[in-house]
Amino acid sequence: MIAAVFKVSYTALGQEWPVVTLIGTAFFVRPRVALTARHILPPARYAPDDGFTRCEYWLLGQAGLRIQFAPRHLTRARGIDAMRIDVPKPCNGPAMPLGTGPPAMGEMHAALGYADPSAMARPYVVRPRPWTRTADVLEWFDLPKLRHARRGVVDSTRTATVAAADVRLDGVNVIEFRAGGVQGMSGGPLVHEATGRAVGVLSFGLPNEGKVKDVVYAMPMAAVATALDL
């Protein structure tokens, strides 16, 4: 089960228009455990956006998946761009199996996630409607239209040191995926198509500027599983 990760900042329920941000993607590996990229929710983002006094974090996915979570549910991996979300209630869909061995070189993989509306190739318009609950705000988004996938062959791994605004990594092993991706997919799974297993957690992409990435890099699942006690 794959979910979009939303942050909603507001002051009073039903008053003014909240600021709603699709900050990344997560995927469930157990009924109550989801994985995502550490950089999508750094401590600086736990606070409401400027001008607001409250904020909420939600996982929104297929089959009516809608789960609120909080910073206390997060476990940040050390040294790699991965994070665990221990959700307060189980998801209503299947967990994704994990592949903890090296990625199968020369075989087809898929990067899966949700695209930030501003990164869509075609204009995507969010149409706000009156609201009284934060859950109402999430209905403004047509999730099927935001689902995004890139398919390609994995042919290399490498060691990377990254010092970007959101991602800072020092000499970590990463899976290189040349099929690329878009902003919003960070935290989604890199899936080996022959087995359906997640072999990595999508992290950063190149070029640094812009919302469309020609190449994306994933944290290998073996390292993620060890760092987050899976």
Q: What is the pLDDT of residue 73?
A: 96
Per-residue b or e along 75-108, where b marks 16 or more CB atoms closer than 10 Å to that residue's CB: ebbeebbbbbbebeeebebebbebbeeebbeeee
Which pLDDT tens digits describe the chain residue by residue (230 residues)?
999 999 999 999 999 999 999 999 999 999 999 999 999 998 888 999 999 999 999 999 988 899 999 999 999 999 999 999 999 999 988 999 999 888 899 999 999 999 998 888 787 888 888 999 999 999 999 899 999 999 999 999 988 887 776 777 888 999 999 999 999 999 999 999 999 999 999 999 888 777 888 999 999 999 999 999 99
Q: Which residue has the tokens 């009516």?
A: 64
Separation of alpha carbons 201 and 217, rounded Å: 8
On whether the CB atoms of residues 203 and 224 are closer than 8 A, the answer is no
On whether the CB atoms of residues 205 and 148 are closer than 8 A, the answer is no
Sign of CA dihedral 6, 7, 12, 17: negative
**Please, what are the domains in the chain?**
2-227 (2.40.10.120)
Q: What is the pLDDT of residue 100?
A: 82
Q: What is the pLDDT of residue 63?
A: 82
Six token digits for residue 177: 């995926």
Q: What is the pLDDT of residue 180?
A: 93
Q: What is the pLDDT of residue 93?
A: 87
